[in-house]
Amino acid sequence: MTKHSAIPLRHPVMIVAMMLVATMTISTGESTWAAEGPLEISPLLAQAEQDRIDAIERAMPSTVCVFVPGGGGGGSGVLISPDGYALTNFHVSSPAGNYMRCGLSDGNIYDAVIVGIDPVGDLALIRLLGRDDFPYATLADSQKASAGDWCMVIGNPFLLASNLQPTVTWGILSGVNRYQYPSGTLLEYADCLQTDASINPGNSGGPLYDAEGRLLGIVGRASFEKRGRVNVGVGYAISIKQAKNFLGYLHSGRVVDHATLGATVATDPDGSVRVSNILESSDAYRRGLRYSAEIIEIDGRVVHTANDVQNVIATLPSGWRVKLVYRYEGNTVETLVRLMSVHGQDELLEKMAGAMPPPPPRETPKKDSDEDKQEEDDGDDAGPEVAEGDVPAAVLAVYEERRGFANYFANQQRQNEFIDALRNQFPKGNAGQTRTWSIQGKTSNDDKVFIYVSDDRLSMVVGDTPIEPETKSDLYESVEAKSFAGAIPALDAWRRMLDKGPKKFGETIYWGSMPLAGERPLRDCVVGSDGEFEIRWLSHPENKQVECIEVFADRDEDPAELWIHRDSDDADAAPTRLEIRYGVESIFEMTVDSWEVLENESPDGDDKDDTDAAKPAPQDQAEQQG
């Protein structure tokens, strides 16, 4: 007896079959269909319908109707956190600039401020103001979505939601992993979801939900009949996986860019993906990738075609470090690659400015007349009336303009969170307190290690090898030479950041979130400039402990990576091991036996105690002990 697989309850064939059985029977001796008695709905069919209604009710409250003040357009969005953060499209937010009005299905309208934008991936993060208990969507795993899955689109097509009640359309996923070329614009849709659920102008930026009401993606594009404005059943949504990759970058308030491998690829006739060209300045080249190498896997995803490679790379932010598996000259190599930016910053800002429409006039809408009502029926200028005037004070309070940023205020908030967390973990301290660190331990070969870090002296002794850089140039050379002494500038930068804070350390920004050595969860990254050095602090998103400090002496070379290992997540937990890596190679590791923090009484040095004199330098300690 052949075993057949069960058809899922929501499969369209099953639903149609149940409808036919419930409503019609075949008359005896006749070939015609005839109704028999009162209509009875199958309990299974009734439950399937109720499930759909419940899913819509769960999803509806998180849907946002976006309106540009002054009647300059609008679109849709979706709330993703209780404190009001919502995703929409860049092409929806750009006409509004820094301020827009957003309505929810509960009938309330809220001011919203721009936070961060991704003009290449057509994403924008906005924040609705006035509450800290907004309804928000549950995020699905879009990588598990398949063609044929039920889905729904909820939004504001043709800005019809003037009563703040969004439109719901239902359909299936027609395809997954679609790629849409920029076509002469910045906007690139990679690895996106295709649906036949009706999408029209105004749905842009809104949510694509699965059958359970979980967020699958952000609606962005649709194919229209002969460039018209009528949906023909081919719409596209940015996957929520891509959106999650960029969330940390968007929270930074920056204008963010996408990644490139620094190489081009082509699908080989034998079905493999081969490198057709590669930049020698790329990290991929430093990791051994060469012309004709076969790429097998990127960021944990197996690739079979050039389209697969583009689908993966185009969903990743610039600067990420991801896993790469390739085969070259018979050898399979598993490595880590730092991805490059598609654009230079000035180039990105220039292209973005060219893609943005002029700001709309912020005028008070006229009173309804017959002509106005006819125009409103056309759907282009519908929506709640917005009074003329300046940007609301509540928006201005959380917005700051700065080149390269959509909202620099958002970045300052993240910098403050970083320094607060840094000062509340070992080694703790307060702003303005100069510190001296004395660290002792040993290597795996039992060589004793002494590290001394203060304003006046930096030194390190490993076994019989003393290193005492006297100038910034000496520190720079230690990183260029890939020496274990790269630990010194990393520790000194950490110490001075505690003392000075981001504003006084140097040009410092919260960069976003990224993998640590290709691994999730994504770590928060803060970048600071320190003379010739660029310093990056990578911290765990939950316990906020700094796990790695990277010191770049040259953008085209591997940085010195100081890895800080602890045995506990407690804020008071002291590091138990320190490790130095360059590229994918660990060159030095020590266990930490003691880490003393000596604080001077006066930050300006007028009343400094004799800490440096009282505490022997590492070389002196080495002599005393051996």
* Cβ-contact 482, 558 below 8 angstroms: yes
DSSP-assigned beta bridge partners for residue 65: 76, 103
* Closest-CA residue to 204 (of 357, 65, 82, 79): 65
Find the range with the poorest average confidence among 81-90, 174-183, 260-269, 338-347: 174-183
Yes or no: domain 259-341 corresponds to CATH 3.10.20.600: no
pLDDT in the model for residue 613:
34
For 399-445, what is each residue's pLDDT tens digit?
Answer: 999 999 999 999 999 999 999 999 999 998 777 787 899 999 999 99
Average pLDDT rounded to a whole number, residues 310-327: 97
CA atoms of 96 and 64, how far apart (whole Å): 15
Retrieve residue 448's tokens: 């004793």
Q: How far is the C-alpha of 219 from the C-alpha of 202, rounded, in Å?
A: 10
Spot the catalytic one: 91, 251, 258, 343: 91
In this predicted structure, the answer to whether residue 27 has a pLDDT above a threshold of 50 is no
Q: Is 251 a catalytic residue?
A: no
The CA distances from residue 88 to 77, 92, 114, 349, in Å, are: 4, 7, 10, 20
Query: Is residue 67 a contact partner of residue 382, using CB atoms and an 8 Å limit?
Result: no
Give the HSE-up count for residue 435: Cα atoms under 13 Å, Cβ half-sphere. 25
Domain ranges of the chain: 51-252, 259-341, 410-599
Q: Which fold has domain 51-252?
A: Thrombin, subunit H (2.40.10)
**Catalytic: 343?**
no
Find tokens 């639903």 and name the residue. Answer: 15
Write out pLDDT tens, residues 276-297.
Answer: 999 999 999 999 999 999 999 9
Residue 372 pLDDT class (50, 70, 90 cuts): very low
Lowest-confidence region among 8-12, 96-100, 300-304: 8-12
With tokens 């490993």, the residue in question is 462
- DSSP 8-state secondary structure symbol assigned to residue 610: S
> What pTM did the predictor assign?
0.86
609 among known catalytic residues: no
If we measure between CA atoms, which residue out of 453, 441, 461, 446 comes closest to residue 619? 461
pLDDT at 566 over 70: yes
Over the stretch 43-76, which tens digit does the pLDDT of each residue have? 898 898 899 999 999 999 999 999 998 777 899 9
Tokens of 140: 């699905």
Q: In the structure, what pLDDT confidence band is assigned to residue 270 with cuts at 50, 70 and 90?
A: confident
| Whole-number Cα distances in Å, 359 to 65, 93, 99, 353 | 19, 11, 11, 12
Run of H or E residues at 597: strand 585-599
Over 70: is that where the pLDDT of 2 sits?
A: no
Residue 592 has pLDDT above 60, yes or no: yes
Q: What is the pLDDT of residue 599?
A: 75
Quick one: tokens of 123?
């994403």
Q: What average pLDDT does range 196-223 have in this prediction?
A: 93
| Phi-psi domain of 586 (left: phi exceeds 0; alpha: psi -120 through 50; beta: other) | beta
What does residue 337 show for φ and ψ, rounded to 5 degrees? Answer: -130, 130
Residues 6+ apart with CB under 8 A from 542: 521, 569
Query: Hunting for tokens 């860019």 — which residue is that?
Result: 257
| Alpha-carbon distances, residue 315 vs 112, 142, 245, 276, 524 (angstroms) | 26, 13, 7, 21, 19
Dihedrals phi, psi of 300, to nearest 5 degrees: 85, 0
In sign, the C-alpha dihedral spanning 26, 32, 37, 38 is positive
- The length of the chain is 626
Q: What is the DSSP string of 476-494?
A: HHHHHTT-GGGHHHHHHHH
For residue 54, which amino acid is it? D
Q: 221: closest CA among 250, 188, 246?
A: 188
DSSP 391: P
Q: Which residue type occupies 320?
A: W
pLDDT band at 367 (very low <50, low <70, confident <90, very high): very low
CA 577 to each of CA 201, 519, 535, 547: distance values in angstroms, whole numbers, following the listed order: 56, 20, 20, 11
Correct CATH for 410-599 of 2.50.20, 3.30.1690, 2.40.128, 3.10.450: 2.50.20
Give which of 520, 573, 536 is closest to 418, Cα–Cα: 536
Selection from 426, 429, 400, 428 nearest residue 413 by Cα: 400
Q: Average pLDDT, stretch 178-197?
A: 86
Residue among 459, 460, 436, 435 nearest 448 (CA): 460
DSSP structure class, residue 143: G
Tokens of 503: 């504003």
What's residue 38's pLDDT?
Answer: 78
128, amino acid identity? L
**116: closest CA among 317, 292, 382?**
317
- Which tokens is 557 given? 């070379």
Are 98 and 127 within 8 A, CB to CB?
Answer: no
The DSSP 8-state label assigned to residue 578 in this structure reads E
Q: Which long-range contacts does 526-534 make (Cβ < 8 Å, 24+ apart)?
A: 526/414, 526/415, 526/418, 526/502, 528/493, 528/497, 528/502, 530/489, 530/493, 530/496, 530/505, 530/506, 531/472, 531/506, 532/472, 532/476, 533/475, 533/476, 533/479, 533/489, 533/493, 534/559
Is there a cis peptide before residue 427, judged by omega within 30 degrees of 0?
Answer: yes
In whole angstroms, how far apart are CA 237 and each of 65, 196, 465?
A: 17, 11, 59
Query: Out of 105, 142, 204, 239, which one is annotated catalytic?
Result: 204
pLDDT at 3 over 90: no
Neighbouring residues of 551: CB distance < 8 A, sequence distance ≥ 6: 479, 486, 489, 490, 493, 533, 534, 535, 559, 560, 561, 562
Residues 6+ apart with CB under 8 A from 207: 59, 62, 63, 76, 78, 137, 153, 154, 155, 215, 216, 217, 218, 219
Q: Report the C-alpha gap between 235 and 192 in whole angstroms.
A: 10
